[in-house]
Amino acid sequence: MTYSTENTLLYVEDLSVSYGDKTVIKDINFVEKDVIRTGNVTGQVIAFVGRSGRGKSTLFRALTGLVKPSSGKVLIADTTTGIDNDAKVVNEGDIGFVDQKYTLFRNKTVSQALMFALRNKEITKEEKEVKIKEYLHQWGLEKVKDQYPNELSGGQRQRTAIIEQIFCSGHYMVLDEPFSGLDVGNIQDVKDAFNLMTASHEFNTIIYSTHDIELAVELADSIYVIGYPSIEGKLADYGTIVKHIDMKEIGLAWKDFGLDHMEVVKQIKAAMLSS
Amino acid sequence: MKLLFKPFEKVSKNTRLLIVLFWVVLVVTFWFISSMGERHLFPSPQQVFTGFSELYNEGLVVHVASSLFLCLKAIIIAVIISLIFAYLSTIPVIKPLANTLSKLRYLPLTGITFYLTILINDARTMQVWVLVVFMSTYLTTSLLSMVSAIPQEEFDHARSLQCKRWEVLWEVVIKGRVDHVIEVIRQNLAIVWMMLVTVESILVAAGGLGFLIKNSDKFMNHGRIIALQIVILFVGLSIDFILNYLRKTFFRYSKI
Ligand SMILES: Nc1ncnc2c1ncn2[C@@H]1O[C@H](COP(=O)(O)OP(=O)(O)O)[C@@H](O)[C@H]1O
Ligand SMILES: [Mg+2]
């Protein structure tokens, strides 16, 4: 499958994050570019895997501008200026973020929350209502639109959180472990949501973490393994990128899961175990 | 029968009712028996009842109203002060102030009344402010822990939806925790109630439940004291119940 890459969408350089004296992640460098396939709107799907506590969530909070890096920077494409390859430092709110617990406003019902997410959009109230209705229908949330988060199931909360972010932020969406604690139906829903998002705009970029390596290999076109690096034969105690697999390069992206994918799964598992 | 003595055992509604009834009967019987002899700790039920009807004839209702009004005034002021401190404690410069206010609860009562007497001449105002100072320290303590118990994810969620910092404060801490504030008030109400006797002795002319106790105390009228205790207990429990009811009806999402 042929493809090419254009504008840089995400540029991370020498990123490190510490809490107090404890360095959680360090020396993180990577670049992700807009992927172009002729006759196809192709967004980017980037997966991060790694064992617990290696700093995936911390990295995501830095990517979304929710925590200040101790060093280094995160740049995203500035699509508002119209200039090609214009970049800016990421700020809180620029990148959508759905956390591990699918946090919502505890005092807002589903439709109130979605209305809130649209508050800064310059469209009339009627247009907002139509849009909300459309999404509620499409995402199967009509029945629960007047319920509060504590009256929703995990899947419903997650879908509400995703729509909120679609409404509010630009082309980027970060999801921390979007597949954990969901049943098969919900997992399919999230996969469909990924497809919908990536098919709706060239720049749309999904970044997610998962403990399900098969799901990373199946969905992503770029996979990073976060782990403790080995320095002179000893494991360090901060997380960094220990392996990168570009699924596009090896011709496995946008394909049904097959034997070649299994091989990649094995490689990733090995990389995880040794870090 | 043996099941009733087993930890964590679930019992039916009827059984629960029976258990409560059993205890009530036991307590009442104990009361009757223990107040029968010549020398006794508790006044007999009849004495309490006479105490109660005497109090009623002397204008118990007015005294209850006076106490409630005093408390209400103090609570409103104290809640406003503590809320301001608690909400603004999210701002680094204000945080030490809020923490200090909360620590003042370790000050003995006399320390505070002493300075308040210097500052305030009017006895009624004095009563209100003694209560306000005390309540504020406790309320601020609870409200501060309410604020610090908000998980980081909730702030991050608001920030990821492009809320400015002040908007985060408004949406997550202020609007998002109104039900907790009611709960905090409910839990701290008992403190005002406890202070009532002390405070009402500042201005005897204004009357109130605390004043009545003090008065009965002087004459060693046990029947009246117990009757009053029961009245105070019930008024307090009713307010407690009302606040809890308000929280549950107006905030459907509130499961505390
Ligand atoms: N707010 C924090 N303060 C201090 N340490 C933290 C904080 N958040 C995470 N950590 C630490 O950072 C490390 C990485 O955590 P996390 O990013 O959640 O890992 P992962 O998502 O890969 O499981 C853990 O050791 C955790 O204890
Ligand atoms: Mg995590």
Query: Are residues A163 and A139 in contact, defined by beta-carbon separation less than 8 angstroms?
Result: yes
Question: Are the beta carbons of A197 and A206 closer than 8 angstroms?
Answer: yes
Q: Cα distance from B168 to chain A (closest Cα, Å)?
A: 11
Q: How many CB atoms lie within 10 A of CB A204?
A: 23
**Ligand 1 atom 24: residue of nearest CA:** A53
Residue A86 confidence (pLDDT): 82
Select from A89, A57, A87 the least CA-distant residue to A72. A89
Per residue in B30-68, pLDDT (tens digit) is: 888 888 777 777 788 888 899 899 889 988 899 889 888
Q: A162 CA distance to ligand 1 centroid (A)?
A: 23
User: How much of chain B, in percent, has pLDDT values that exceed 90?
Assistant: 50
Task: Compute, in angstroms, the gap from residue A82 CA to the centroid of ligand 1.
Answer: 38
Q: Look at residue B210 in the predicted model and tell me its pLDDT.
A: 79
Where does ligand 1 bind, in terms of residues with CB under 6 Å?
Answer: A 19, 22, 24, 50, 52-58
Q: B interface mutation test: which of A107, A109, A176 has the most B CBs within 10 A?
A: A107
Q: A87 is in which domain, residue-wise?
A: 4-273
Answer yes or no: pTM beyond 0.80.
Answer: yes
Answer whether A103 sits within 8 Å of B163, measured CB to CB: no
ipTM: 0.92
For the CA of A226, the nearest atom of ligand 1: 22
Mutate to test the interface with B, among A19, A64, A106 (most CBs of B within 10 A): A106
Residue B251 has pLDDT above 80, yes or no: yes
Q: How far is B151 from chain A (nearest CA, A)?
A: 10
Our mutation pick for probing the ligand 1 site, out of A28, A57, A226, counting the most ligand atoms within 8 A of Cβ, is: A57
DSSP, residue by residue, A242-274: EEEEETTTTT-TTS---HHHHHHHHHHHHHHHT
Helices assigned H by DSSP within B7-108? 13-34, 45-57, 60-88, 95-103
> Could you give the CA distance from residue B237 to residue A17 in angstroms, rounded to a whole number?
51
CB contact under 8 A, A107 and B175: yes
d(CA A111, CA A152): 13
- pLDDT, position A1: 63
Higher-confidence position of B114 and A229: A229
Residue having the nearest C-alpha atom to atom 11 of ligand 1: A24
pLDDT in tens, B187-205: 888 888 878 877 887 777 7
- Rounded Cα distance between A79 and B72, Å, is 56
Inter-chain residue contact B253 with A168, CB threshold 8 Å: no
Contact assessment for residue A48 and residue A30, using Cβ atoms and an 8 Å cutoff: no
Pocket test residue of A15, A16, A17, A19 for ligand 1, highest count of atoms within 8 A of CB: A19
Instruction: State both tokens at B38.
Output: 């010549």
Q: Identify the segments of chain A with pLDDT beneath 50.
A: none
Where residue A153 sits, what CATH number does that domain have?
Answer: 3.40.50.300
What is the C-alpha R_g of chain A? Answer: 19
Candidates B166, B155, B144, B132; CA nearest to B83 is: B144
- Supply the mean pLDDT for chain B: 89
Q: At what angle do helices B178-200 and B209-218 cross, to 10 degrees?
A: 30
φ/ψ of A182, rounded to 5, equals: -110, 155
pLDDT-derived band at B229 (thresholds 50, 70, 90) equals: confident
Q: How many domains does chain A have?
A: 1
Ligand nearest to the CA of A22: 1
Of B160, B251, B252, the CB nearest to A165: B160
Element (H, E) at A231: strand A230-231
Reported as a single tens digit per residue, the pLDDT across B10-31 is: 989 999 999 999 999 999 998 8
Is A117 part of the contact surface with chain B (CB cutoff 8 Å)?
yes
Set out the domains of chain B in order of their start, with CATH numbers: 45-250 (1.10.3720.10)
